[in-house]
Structure 1
Amino acid sequence: LVRPMASTGSSAPCGCLCLPRAFLAWLGTALLFLADWVLLRPALPWISSLLLPPEPPLLRVWVVGLSRWAVLWLGARSVLRTTVDFPGGGTGLRGWLAALEPLAAALGLALPGLAAFRELGSGAADSTRLLHWGSRLDAFALGYAAALPAAALWHELRSLWLQRGHGGSGVIVSRLLGCLGSEIHRFWLLLTLVVLSSLGEMSIPFFTGRLTDWILQDRAGGAFTQNLILMSILIIASAVLEFVSDGIYNSTMGHVHSHLQGEVFQAVLRQETEFFQKNQTGAITSRVTEDTSTMSESLSSELSLLLWYLVRGLCLLGFMLWGSASLTMVTLAALPLLFLLPKKLGKWHQVLAAQVQESLAKSSQVAIEVLSAMPTVRSFANEEGEAQKFKQKLQEMKPLNQKEALAYAVDLWGTSISGMLLKVGLLFVGGKLVTGGAISSGYLVTFVLYQTQFTEAVQVLLFSYPRVHKAVGSSEEIFEYLDRVPRCPANGSVASVKLDGRVQFQNVSFAYPNRQEVPVLQGLTFTLRPGEVTALVGPNGSGKSTVAALLQNLYQPSDGQVLLDGRPLPEYEHRYLHRQVAAVGQEPQLFGRSFRENIAYGLIQKPAMEEVIAAAVQSGAHSFISKLPQGYDTEVGEAGNQLSGGQRQAVALARALIRKPRVLILDDATSALDADSQSRMESLLCDSTERYSRSVLLITQRLRSVEQADRILFLEGGTIIEEGTHQQLMANKGHYWTMVQTPDRSGAPE
């Protein structure tokens, strides 16, 4: 009983606080609006007329606008502070109230900005007129009607741009632009061309209005023809500029795509070995190629529309404000009605259309079930029953079809009626302005054309911006690869030392990252000496291939260290280390290139043809390569699929031998070679003069090769339990002897 009472008592204060805090927030907003209407609207122009000189009038307009902005901003901050202190339940409320700050900026700066804009072409008289116009009730209401949707749109775009902190669209777009490098100046040129092209397009409405005035005033003549010629020139210039800008844009986005794809692939290649074991090759390839291509193509097409119509809409808005602030305010105030109402009605129609499709699918399922079981239907003489059942399903669809038809009609009606109401409103206000002499009849025609193009631009922006945002958001997965820090030691710097090839495993323990609970090596200690062939044998799963992987620095020991000439492997420079330590596996990976490229793979300096042939002769690959029509320029096929297993091993051996490594790892690398190639390799390892310049780690299933090794290490359970020559281990009759004597020799040397 105590616990529920305590719980109720703790939640009650929150319930008591929620409503008052939210109520105070909305009350503060309402009081701020009343203060702006009752006090600021009449008082600020009056105070400025007392404190400031009448000339220049533009100064008074700016003082009034900035003062209004400052007062409204302070009020908005106080209202927001009320909701910030509110504990819980106010996230949505704070989100909407956050639009108060951009609203204060729009209300305070719109009139001064318009006055400065008009001052450029109309003189100081317009500034004085705008100052008094701003204090009128109708202008006050119209200003709010235009500023509210603008502030809400600004807040929404800003939240999308900055959402998810460091992963917001703004950061991602900045990183995409960073892919341009020194070619970033192209965007400034592109923006200039788009602006000029948009201004050229504005010539059609502009000259249409002027020609209308001349026709009404019977002034058609030489000037009429001259203006038509000038309009044609501007239109052609606009088309040419648009063509050039499209070319520059596509070239720039192509550069972004190729650069980004190369950067992602390079970032993938830097990852540790475990990364490629945890992620499927197909998924990595898809991220590098398909995801970057899809993102680039989507971003390229949608961003082009967004950029073009954004510049076009801003230019149109500037021309509209230049000609008539009243008509522009009417247009801006009508934008929510023009787009939000059809959007809501369109969602209703989409929901009903989905329900109709679902009902149709159910009736289709009945038909499919009956037609697939016609022998059963006929044997029970139920054709009429199934037909009635199908008709019943169709009857259930009838009300939905009627609702969908009604929703479709209402959707079309909403779209057309909102456009018609805007046109009627413009003609009503514009007619009064024409009769009052504020604008000409021709400019009213020009403005209507401007307004049509402006609403089209806004509609395209509202349609394309979510797609651009989605394309930008999809690039977050691509940047995951770019930002991923490889879980392997940093590249060392040792690269100029003269190596002997002495390898030491000092108390090495290891478990694979995805199976940390299963130790593979435990306290492993042994040494590979230059001039010796050391054979590593043991049952399957004892850790032999893991030893080879650690020696190639593909993994890092969990404990202990692997030393090469007394230095830990991570201290060596990456390329240098893998020139000195070469490995050949049982199933070596070749690339779909020529024999020469495969043998010289990874070498910075391209080796001479004599070196390539010499390495191939040592490995036994020259005998079959020389018989091919194109010789060493012959393609080996994808992953070497045109070669047998023994031929692939011979080429891989040549790839290792051409490096003249100080440490050579043969992990069952001769299992598929023929007898002659086997004898050649055994001679190369044990009898050639080059054997004294390297250490050899031999992991093999062939008893003959093991017998010829200078030293044999028997590995079991991740530790060395026996060590010696073949004769010594056979005389001891321990684990090695038992493995050799096993009849099937499963997992033992043959």
Structure 2
Amino acid sequence: MSNVYMAAEYTGNIMNKGTVPYPRDPPGESIDCVDTRGMVLELRNMSFSYPAAQSGAALNDISLNIEAGPLVVLVGANGSGKSTLVRLLSGLYKPSPGAGAFLIPAEDYRIGDLYQAIALLSQENQVYPLSLSENMSLGTTQAPCKDEVDGAARLGGASEFIFRFEKGMNTELQVFSDAMAHNLHGKPDHPLSQEMKGLPTDIDISGGEKQRLVASRTFMRFNSGAVRFVAVDEPTSALDAEGELQLFNNLLAARKGKTMVFVTHRFGHLTKHADKIVCMKAGQIVEMGTHAELMQKENGEYANLYKIQADAYI
């Protein structure tokens, strides 16, 4: 419930133009007019607690500087604060007043431009009662062409299941016809019952297919050219190892200078490509460096996690 509360509060703040973690509209320049590279992000002595949390701060005195364009991988045991940190960086969570500073280079970005510049691929895998194509296009500012939709579906892995449906991209998810007919049981001759016989039946997709669809939505966002920061929070829990590796490789290939922060519990492949690894424990950053640097630390936290994971896959 705390996550729901945070998201609701954050959305309300944006709609009311009240306290948000970034400057408001207007004035300001478009991000595209200021810088076309990846986004620079900095946290200074940042702490964060969930509302009504009984276990203390989720993040404690975090300081982190991310230059424009690197691949950063957050690692750590469950509950170490990785997802909280990436959601704070992506703007999904609002910093607590007086709990440190969250800085971006310019003080006057327009809020609409800023959120067009951020893409979050998370583990929630939310889909909506829309067509598959419309689900993929959420968050885009202009109607996409067919080639863009097909390309994003291929990169996200969704094309593997979409075309098994008769209507392909136009397949509607979760029509919710049952809600319309809840008082019609035992009334087959009712006019509404007759009308509903012509409606499409509900179509649902598996957890792995939802993850592929949401990943394809992220690639659709890349087509705008406005995305400068990509936050990826363990989006592959329902994918097999091959599907996960293919998605990660496609994201890395599409990065093209964007700042990208990954959270994943299977990190061996990613960390070898990372410009910076941030190792967390109990809400704090305990180590930072490259894979080679951290593996040289005797009894280091990252080296221990890496060896445990390597042993598990032997």
Give the residue type in structure 2 aligned to 1:526.
L
1:567 lines up with 2:93 in the alignment: no
Give the deviation of 1:641 after TM superposition.
7.3
Aligned length: 268
Give the deviation of 1:663 after TM superposition.
0.9
Q: CA separation in 1, counterparts of 2:44 and 2:311?
A: 31
Select 1:655's aligned residue among 217, 242, 263.
217
1:729 lines up with 2:294 in the alignment: yes
1:497 lines up with 2:22 in the alignment: no
Q: Deviations along 1:146-201, whole A, 9 cap, x unmatched?
A: xxxxxxxxxxxxxxxxxxxxxxxxxxxxxxxxxxxxxxxxxxxxxxxxxxxxxxxx
The structure where strand makes up a greater share of residues is 2
Give the deviation of 1:744 after TM superposition.
11
Select 1:741's aligned residue among 282, 291, 307.
307
1:680 lines up with 2:246 in the alignment: yes
Select 1:713's aligned residue among 258, 268, 278.
278
User: Would the alpha carbon gap of residues 696 and 745 (structure 1) be closer, same or farther in structure 2, given more than 3 Å must change?
Assistant: farther
Give the residue type in structure 1 aligned to 2:142.
Q
Q: CA RMSD in A?
A: 3.3
Q: CA separation in 1, counterparts of 2:309 and 2:250?
A: 31
Give the deviation of 1:612 after TM superposition.
1.4
Q: CA separation in 1, counterparts of 2:130 and 2:259?
A: 30
Asked if the contact 2:58–2:81 (Cα under 8 Å) also holds between the matched residues in 1, the reply is yes
Please identify runs of 4+ aligned residues in structure 1 that moved more than 6 A. Answer: 484-487, 638-641, 743-746
Asked if the contact 1:273–1:555 (Cα under 8 Å) also holds between the matched residues in 2, the reply is no
Q: CA separation in 2, counterparts of 1:743 and 1:622?
A: 31
Give the deviation of 1:581 after TM superposition.
0.7
Matched residue, 1:66: none
Matched residue, 1:488: 19
Matched residue, 1:603: 140
Q: Percent identity over the alignment?
A: 30
Secondary structure of the residue that 2:165 maps to in structure 1?
coil
Q: CA separation in 1, counterparts of 2:203 and 2:58?
A: 33
Matched residue, 2:204: 642
User: Would the alpha carbon gap of residues 680 and 721 (structure 1) be closer, same or farther in structure 2, given more than 3 Å must change?
Assistant: same
Q: CA separation in 1, counterparts of 2:50 and 2:241?
A: 36
Q: CA separation in 1, counterparts of 2:55 and 2:46?
A: 16
User: Would the alpha carbon gap of residues 685 and 530 (structure 1) be closer, same or farther in structure 2, given more than 3 Å must change?
Assistant: farther
Q: CA separation in 2, counterparts of 1:560 and 1:604?
A: 33
Secondary structure of the residue that 2:255 maps to in structure 1?
helix
Give the deviation of 1:714 after TM superposition.
0.3
Q: CA separation in 1, counterparts of 2:63 and 2:215?
A: 28
Q: CA separation in 2, counterparts of 1:721 and 1:584?
A: 25
Matched residue, 2:95: 557
Select 1:698's aligned residue among 252, 262, 277.
262
Q: CA separation in 2, counterparts of 1:652 and 1:535?
A: 20
Secondary structure of the residue that 1:537 maps to in structure 2?
strand
Matched residue, 1:577: 114
Give the deviation of 1:491 after TM superposition.
3.6
Matched residue, 1:166: none
Matched residue, 1:511: 49
Give the deviation of 1:590 after TM superposition.
0.7
Q: CA separation in 2, counterparts of 1:595 and 1:685?
A: 21
Q: Deviations along 1:592-625, whole A, 9 cap, x unmatched?
A: 1111111111323212222111211211112221
Asked if the contact 1:533–1:685 (Cα under 8 Å) also holds between the matched residues in 2, the reply is no
Give the residue type in structure 2 aligned to 1:601.
L
User: Would the alpha carbon gap of residues 578 and 641 (structure 1) be closer, same or farther in structure 2, given more than 3 Å must change?
Assistant: farther
Asked if the contact 1:511–1:519 (Cα under 8 Å) also holds between the matched residues in 2, the reply is yes
Asked if the contact 2:136–2:217 (Cα under 8 Å) also holds between the matched residues in 1, the reply is yes
Secondary structure of the residue that 1:698 maps to in structure 2?
strand
Q: CA separation in 1, counterparts of 2:251 and 2:68?
A: 12
Q: CA separation in 2, counterparts of 1:676 and 1:544?
A: 24
User: Would the alpha carbon gap of residues 552 and 616 (structure 1) be closer, same or farther in structure 2, given more than 3 Å must change?
Assistant: same
Give the deviation of 1:638 after TM superposition.
6.6
User: Would the alpha carbon gap of residues 275 and 595 (structure 1) be closer, same or farther in structure 2, given more than 3 Å must change?
Assistant: closer
User: Would the alpha carbon gap of residues 596 and 641 (structure 1) be closer, same or farther in structure 2, given more than 3 Å must change?
Assistant: same
User: Would the alpha carbon gap of residues 492 and 582 (structure 1) be closer, same or farther in structure 2, given more than 3 Å must change?
Assistant: same
Structure with max Cα Rg? 1
Give the deviation of 1:519 after TM superposition.
1.6
Give the residue type in structure 2 aligned to 1:612.
V
Q: CA separation in 2, counterparts of 1:273 and 1:577?
A: 23
Give the deviation of 1:729 after TM superposition.
1.5
Unaligned stretches of 5+ residues in structure 1: 1-271, 278-480
Give the residue type in structure 2 aligned to 1:693.
G
Matched residue, 2:86: 548
Matched residue, 2:73: 535
Asked if the contact 1:530–1:692 (Cα under 8 Å) also holds between the matched residues in 2, the reply is no
Secondary structure of the residue that 1:649 maps to in structure 2?
helix
Matched residue, 1:629: 166
Asked if the contact 1:511–1:517 (Cα under 8 Å) also holds between the matched residues in 2, the reply is no
Asked if the contact 1:523–1:719 (Cα under 8 Å) also holds between the matched residues in 2, the reply is yes
Q: 1:455-494 residue pairs with structure 2 within 5 A?
A: 488-489=19-20, 491-493=24-26, 494=28
User: Would the alpha carbon gap of residues 673 and 495 (structure 1) be closer, same or farther in structure 2, given more than 3 Å must change?
Assistant: farther
Q: CA separation in 1, counterparts of 2:167 and 2:85?
A: 39
Secondary structure of the residue that 1:567 maps to in structure 2?
coil
The structure where helix makes up a greater share of residues is 1
User: Would the alpha carbon gap of residues 745 and 524 (structure 1) be closer, same or farther in structure 2, given more than 3 Å must change?
Assistant: farther
Matched residue, 1:586: 123
Give the residue type in structure 2 aligned to 1:274.
M
Give the deviation of 1:526 after TM superposition.
1.7
Secondary structure of the residue that 2:31 maps to in structure 1?
coil
User: Would the alpha carbon gap of residues 492 and 667 (structure 1) be closer, same or farther in structure 2, given more than 3 Å must change?
Assistant: same
